[in-house]
Chain A
Amino acid sequence: MTPGQQAKRRFLLGASSLGALFLTGCDRLSDTEWFPKVLRTHETLSRGVHKLLGSRPSMAQEFAEADLSPFFRSNGTSMPEGDEYQALAKNGFADWQLEVGGLVEKPAKLTLAELRAMPRRTQITRHDCVEGWSAIGKWTGVPLSNVMALVRPQASARYVVFHCADAMSGGLTPEYYYESIDMDDAMHPQTLLAYGLNGKDLPIANGAPIRLRVERQLGYKHAKYVMRIQLVESFANIAGGKGGYWEDNGYQWYAGI
């Protein structure tokens, strides 16, 4: 080996051991209590800046019919198990009722027919999954703000929580999917309780009878199979306390990024 080759070898050895040390260090940090909390400050920073840049009126991009994805991918649950949901589905959700309660002046129970009779909005938007893919779909539904106007949120209501029919784990007390958004998103004109996809009834694979559309955030915020809506001041006492099923499993509550 020439001195040059030796030096190269020494450098590569040195660099790879430094690299291995660095990786082990990063993984150790990920496993601590404190470091992930430091990392998570990005969520507060980004949300703060995003809120400054675009508050209620900032609208998600809308597309043309020609941009529609040939099929709209179903991710996560595509068929909720459970007898209750199966019975509702068998009957075309005619017996389904959306319960809206919590911190509201006038709790309500709304059937699918009643929701369909309310003012509707159709929008062609891009759905961005946290995994990285996007799909474009045409959604029809009632703007959530109309439902809010009906039940009249109390002044203390800060979040809208969506309780869903899909169980994410088995056992005697299964964890159900749930999500939450703030009042700004709840009152946003593009935030829908969608019952239609691409001009047809919303398929079960995509969340029938209704799913949430909250267009300025990633896919996991768009709760499918919504059964009950609850307005709360804090979601600390719901399930894992982080405001959603994926949030309880480490994902960011603010999914605008």
Chain B
Amino acid sequence: MAAVSITSSAPPSYLYYRHTLPVRIMHWTNFIALTILFMSGLHIFNAHAALYWGDSSYSGRPPLLQITTRDGANGERIGVTNVFGREFETTGVLGLSKYPNGAPNRHAFPSWATIPGGYSLAMARDWHFFFAWVFVLNGVAYVLYSLFTRHLMRDLAPTGKELRGIGTSIVDHLKFKHPTGEAAKRYNVLQKLAYLSVIFVLLPLLILAGWAMSPWLNSIIPGWVDLLGGRQSARTIHFIVAWLLFLFLAVHVFEVIISGFWNHIRSMVTGRYRVKTGA
């Protein structure tokens, strides 16, 4: 038998089952719910586009943030955003923008950022509260699942060794250098800390601040809302945390793109992540 020269039949990589089906379902449910919550939330904010600290909005102190429209120097309408008393012109995006048909939109956030696009506070509240239920139930299911299957302890909790190597991980991230080979099967330490702070700090705070805005829930334990600084503070916290989550999403998507977009997408859809061997 003549020897047939075959360079190598061994694959240079293999598929690794990285995400279980429940995690994948809950990940995408969470993504859809949070996207709708964020955009319907911006719509609800438009009904009163100002943020305050304390119990009330009328305390004699100016708002911390206000997005509005006013007459500009030449008599034309301009959109302005006031942050801690400093005014920025934000025409086109905040305070004054255009509907898709070209008509002026004097609401704080533009129609392309809100659900629904056309102004309807009642409808935005229905979207928001329905998906708040979806989000909370999904979140409770995720936390229970992660505890019972040890997903939390096995995959998310950083080890002491990992924590000590945090400096290297930071430098690697800044150089856009990502783990390969066997190390790519696990989350890296910064990733773990980011996920843990979202799951156990930002999201619970977001929910708590949301509940603090409900007058009925306020009455369950009168005064509990003072823990967050009062109802208007809670509204401000809710707004800030929502934007922090948006920031997280931006970084998360950025990291996904630069460390193998389709590989990550496949692993979050089918569960299978391609691990390159010998790399």
* Residues of A that sit less than 8 Å from B by CB: 8, 11, 22-23, 26-27, 30, 36, 38-43, 45-46, 50, 53-54, 58-63, 67, 69-73, 126, 128-136, 215-218, 246, 249-252, 256-257
Q: Which of A39, A70, A72, A256 contacts B215 (CB 8 A)?
A: A256
**Is B60 an interface residue, CB under 8 A from the partner?**
yes
Q: Which of A70, A126, A217, A257 contacts B55 (CB 8 A)?
A: A126
B117 touches A69 (CB 8 A): no
Known: A54-B220, A61-B218, A69-B58. 7 other contacts (CB 8 A): A23-B112, A46-B129, A53-B220, A69-B59, A126-B231, A135-B56, A257-B215
| Bound-complex Cα distance A99 to B59 (A) | 37
Looking across the interface, which residue of chain B has its beta carbon closest to that of A8? B257
Q: Give 7 closest A-B pairs by Cβ, nearest first.
A: A256-B216, A250-B122, A132-B48, A69-B58, A133-B57, A42-B129, A39-B126
Looking across the interface, which residue of chain A has its beta carbon closest to that of B218? A61
**Is B232 an interface residue, CB under 8 A from the partner?**
yes
| Bound-complex Cα distance A46 to B220 (A) | 14
Looking across the interface, which residue of chain B has its beta carbon closest to that of A46? B129
A42 touches B133 (CB 8 A): yes
A69 touches B222 (CB 8 A): no
B48 touches A133 (CB 8 A): yes
**Is B203 an interface residue, CB under 8 A from the partner?**
no
Residues on A with C-beta less than 8 A from B88 are none
B215 touches A60 (CB 8 A): yes
Residues on B with C-beta less than 8 A from A249 are 122
**Is B47 an interface residue, CB under 8 A from the partner?**
yes
| Bound-complex Cα distance A39 to B37 (A) | 13
Q: Which of B36, B222, B235 contacts A61 (CB 8 A)?
A: B222
A39 touches B127 (CB 8 A): yes
Residues on A with C-beta less than 8 A from B261 are 11
Residues on A with C-beta less than 8 A from B130 are 38-42
* Residues of B that sit less than 8 Å from A by CB: 35-36, 39, 44-45, 47-48, 50, 55-60, 112, 115-118, 120-123, 125-127, 129-130, 132-133, 213-220, 222-223, 225, 231-232, 235, 257, 261
Q: Are A136 and B55 also in contact (CB < 8 A) when A61-B223, A215-B215 are?
A: yes
B128 to chain A, nearest CB (A): 9
Q: Are A132 and B56 also in contact (CB < 8 A) when A27-B118, A46-B129, A257-B216 are?
A: no
Residues on A with C-beta less than 8 A from B121 are 130-131, 251
A138 to chain B, nearest CB (A): 13
B219 touches A43 (CB 8 A): no
A60 touches B58 (CB 8 A): no
Residues on B with C-beta less than 8 A from A257 are 129, 213-217
Residues on B with C-beta less than 8 A from A69 are 56, 58-59
Q: List 19 A-B contacts (CB under 8 A).
A: A11-B261, A27-B116, A30-B115, A36-B126, A42-B129, A43-B129, A61-B225, A67-B56, A70-B59, A126-B56, A130-B121, A136-B55, A216-B219, A246-B122, A250-B120, A251-B122, A256-B217, A257-B129, A257-B214
A14 to chain B, nearest CB (A): 10
Looking across the interface, which residue of chain A has its beta carbon closest to that of B220? A54
Residues on B with C-beta less than 8 A from A131 are 47-48, 121
Residues on A with C-beta less than 8 A from B35 are 22
B48 touches A129 (CB 8 A): yes
Q: Are A60 and B222 also in contact (CB < 8 A) when A250-B120, A250-B123, A252-B125 are?
A: yes
Q: Are A130 and B47 also in contact (CB < 8 A) when A50-B217, A53-B220, A60-B222 are?
A: yes
| Bound-complex Cα distance A133 to B139 (A) | 29
A63 to chain B, nearest CB (A): 7
Residues on B with C-beta less than 8 A from A26 are 36, 39, 115-117, 127
Residues on A with C-beta less than 8 A from B117 are 23, 26-27
A135 touches B122 (CB 8 A): no
Residues on B with C-beta less than 8 A from A41 are 130
A217 touches B216 (CB 8 A): yes
Looking across the interface, which residue of chain B has its beta carbon closest to that of A43? B129
Q: Which of A11, A58, A63, A250 contacts B220 (CB 8 A)?
A: A58
B58 to chain A, nearest CB (A): 4
Residues on A with C-beta less than 8 A from B118 are 27
